[in-house]
A and B are shown apart, each in its own frame.
Chain A
């Protein structure tokens, strides 16, 4: 008997009697949801900027990253920033100073933004870039992860990730340091 059969037959023999799955009804509130989201994200080291259009967003990007490599997957920004051929080796993204990527929605309770592979250009990009900007519409903020998974539903993606703030560590004596291995800073643009 190979291990697979051995494990499965032992599991079948030993698993206890049926237990039902519970309902997932939790409380949630959409009051001041954008403020809540901002407060939480700032608390975990991120930043939030409200912008009213692509021009304003672009202006805000370039002031902070003049002469640095900026990469985006957002069509509205491509004319201003340029395009990248994402078929090349992801290692070549190592010198990206700022990646500007669209998020699907954000979650107020934890400051996270949901982003899937087709919005990443290359799947390495959100993690290898030195700084990360995520753009969502202001109305796309959900109260909790419970609503987030309702929204995600059975949508198909190859890789999906919640990103909440910049990469960080507190492994050295519990001192919080931003910029462990991933992005050193994260800003979420809320498009009005």
Chain B
């Protein structure tokens, strides 16, 4: 294990720890937390810049949300149309109710072809299904080809962010990891050098894998094609050099028509990283001559959620990660503290739908500040849903007393006076711009103490600024 990190027991399959406990661990290394916080805020700012350049930004968000609403209300017909068109295009379509069934389907395809080495591009759905573990246990070697995913895979960790899987890793640690696994010289932590080493290492995997698995960003009912977006080109390279392509998707990834891609692709990368578009947005319609194409559609609770007026909107998510980057709790607690494949605000409203008891803590890992809903490109009412989940969880008796769990959720990150003091600039920033986070009646901590009024700048900052001004 790489030193300086505290992630040994964050894997959700291991003993269950609450968000508060895990966040507390993350917060033991103050410098790392500050760095993590800043890095993500930087990405949030890039998103803002990209969004502001488009005069139609708000209209695009509204349009995307409406298209997704139409998808939810016509999902039955769209799924059938997608299936039919995909079959006409030459794909085999599979349906899986559960992650177990999904994994069995994928495994049987792999077995049929007698393949043992496969390459996989980023797919949060396969994380949701714990597919790698399932296949690995059956002697299949799965190589994640997205650089960030490969890094966490080599380290034996799950991704900590849906778009930026190793956002919690420092380059020196990656250098150490690569020197151990890829034989790069010790002490070399240059991103350019390390990326080149990974390119070489993974090129060999691409050249020798007969089967490639990808996720799906959007699947078009009208044409049966699906779109996969990457910056690295790993999905394309894997697929185009393989005899078999398996694309795994949730049933909510359907969009009605091809032209609607124009709306979603304008929003996705800008929301995710502030890029105008990802480097590659590949529209897979028919497999290459001689290639087998399989599409696996997974339900895993989605069709049930569709029936819930309060929670169905979460199915609109296009997995851009913007709500992570803006979330004050995520930024200061790290993705692993959510002990779920999808972390952050969206993970906190998706997970309790799957296992309310196990994930009862997640809706409380929020300040309800609403920043997530404000940046969400498909306008999901994330913070409202967080609040509604709290009510459901308390009603169902899964919360160990509203006050206690809310205290835990908040304690680790924002409200604990110790962490508040340590958080320094961040705490002052919260108090100045978002005092309602802390002075919110939902925050039981507030009931007991009065928050100090935040000085506009700390004495230290004031002092150094004045020194500069005066001499």
Contact = CB atoms under 8 A, between A and B. Distances in A.
Interface stretch (A49-57, A67-75, A105-113): A105-113
Given A10-B303, A162-B277, A167 B233 contact: yes
A174 interface: yes
A14 to B, nearest CB: 3
Contacts of A8: 76, 79-80
B279 A166 contact: yes
Bin chain B's interface residue count: 35 or more
Given A91-B241, A161-B282, A173-B170, A19 B276 contact: no
Contacts of B111: none
Contacts of A175: 171, 191-192
Contact of B281 (A90, A109, A112, A146): A112
A187 interface: no
B31 to A, nearest CB: 14
B265 A90 contact: no
Contacts of B232: 167-169, 180-182
B273 A170 contact: yes
B24 interface: no
Given A8-B76, A15-B306, A180-B147, A159 B231 contact: no
B185 to A, nearest CB: 16
Contacts of B171: 172-173, 175
A165 interface: yes
Given A15-B74, A15-B306, A145 B266 contact: yes
Interface stretch (B5-13, B53-61, B430-438): B53-61
Contacts of B166: 171-172
B384 interface: no
Contact of A11 (B75, B259, B265, B288): B75
| Of A21, A110, A152, A172, most B-chain CB atoms within 10 Å | A172
Nearest to A43: B276
B85 to A, nearest CB: 12
A181 B59 contact: no
A22 B285 contact: no
A6 interface: yes
Interface of A: 2-4, 6-8, 10-22, 24, 26-27, 40, 44, 90-91, 94, 107, 109-112, 122-124, 126-128, 144-146, 148-150, 152, 154, 157-175, 177, 179-183
Interface of B: 39, 42-43, 54-56, 59-60, 62-63, 66-67, 69-70, 72-76, 79-80, 95-97, 101, 145-148, 151, 164-166, 169-171, 174, 191-192, 194-196, 199, 202-203, 206-207, 223, 231-234, 236-237, 240-241, 251, 256, 258-263, 265-266, 273, 275-288, 297, 299, 303-304, 306-307, 309, 312
Give 10 nearest A-B pairs by CB, closest first.
A182-B233, A14-B307, A110-B276, A180-B232, A171-B148, A124-B240, A175-B191, A10-B303, A4-B95, A110-B277
24 contacts: A3-B96, A3-B299, A7-B97, A10-B304, A11-B76, A11-B251, A24-B259, A27-B56, A122-B240, A124-B237, A152-B258, A157-B283, A162-B281, A164-B276, A170-B231, A171-B147, A172-B166, A174-B42, A179-B196, A180-B147, A180-B232, A181-B199, A181-B237, A182-B237
